[in-house]
Structure 1
Amino acid sequence: MRKGYWTGLDVDNLIEELEALGRSEQQELGNYLQLPLMHLLKCQYQPERQTTSCRGLIQTFCLESVEQ
């Protein structure tokens, strides 16, 4: 493609790959956010079940988010 060979380009496949990349990144973000969000909800709605490790995970997540 860099040399200008566009005639053999499978445009439909290229579009499909680009769309899949977007879905993959969305899924990765969802997986990344799932655990901290579950802990935040637990702290909010079940404070009696809150643990030190739960608070530590949330603090770590917040610090990592700020650094990025």
Structure 2
Amino acid sequence: LYQVPRNQTKLTIMLEKLGMNYDGRPHSGLDDSKNIARIAVRIMHAGQLMTVSSLAPLEGAPAPQMPRYRN
């Protein structure tokens, strides 16, 4: 039902195919995340099963380190 060609997986195209508008500023991490969540909710409300296709490590990214300066 929601399968589209790989070249049409842009966020704006997914929203357009669902009859939705982009909310927020393009390429804002927070706004992109909110729009992706809206897409997921719409798909689940339509009865489509969503499955995990890959996993990120639970520990996440390493903590930032102080830069080392040369004398």
- Assess same fold via TM > 0.5: no
Q: Which has the higher helix share?
A: 1
* Structure with more contact order per residue of length (Cα contacts < 8 Å, sep ≥ 6): 1
- What TM-score results when the alignment is normalised by the length of structure 2? 0.28
| TM-score normalised according to structure 1 size | 0.30
**Greater Rg by CA:** 1
